């Protein structure tokens, strides 16, 4: 088999495994939320991140392969996604903790309740 074909197959399999890992991670992130408010927030956040992933990585990748945009523009979109991704993770963690804290103070049991 041609080495470039092996590389293409490996890239496709690796990408599929990566997407599957993201789907599994999203599922368990939502499933492991303690309160309904946290779960609603995580569904909205995860949906937004998947849309951003498709728009900032998937779409430019396809457009680059087809030749509509230059390859360097794909890499700019790729870097932009990860530059924006990191701060949103920190924000989401703070927001989720605040939702959990809010629920804990509502039930009269304090932080550990």
113 has a pLDDT exceeding 50: no
pLDDT digits (tens, 9 = 90+) for 3-41: 989 998 998 999 999 999 999 999 999 999 988 999 999
What is the pTM for the complete model shown?
Answer: 0.77
Task: Kindly state the average pLDDT of the residues 82-102.
Answer: 92
Torsion on CA atoms 88, 40, 48, 51, rounded to nearest 10: 150
Q: How confident is the model at residue 103, as a pLDDT?
A: 76
How far apart (Å, rounded) are the C-alpha atoms in residues 112 and 101? Answer: 9
Tell me the C-alpha distance between 36 and 39, whole Å: 5
Sign for the pseudo-dihedral over CA of 63, 67, 71, 73: negative
Sorted by where each begins, the domain ranges of the chain are 1-32, 34-113
Q: Are 30 and 46 in contact (CB under 8 A)?
A: yes
pLDDT tier for residue 106 given thresholds of 50, 70 and 90? low
């Amino acid at each position: 088999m041609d080495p470039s074909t092996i590389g293409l197959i490996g890239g496709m399999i690796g990408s599929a495994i990566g997407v599957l890992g993201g789907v599994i991670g999203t599922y368990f992130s939502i499933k492991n939320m303690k309160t309904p408010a946290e779960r609603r927030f995580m569904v909205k956040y995860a949906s937004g991140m998947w849309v951003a992933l498709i728009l900032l990585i998937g779409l430019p990748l396809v457009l680059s392969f087809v030749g509509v945009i230059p390859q360097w523009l794909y890499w700019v979109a790729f870097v932009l996604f990860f530059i924006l991704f990191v701060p949103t993770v920190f924000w989401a963690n703070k927001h989720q903790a605040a939702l959990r804290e809010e629920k804990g103070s509502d039930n009269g049991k304090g932080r550990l309740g």
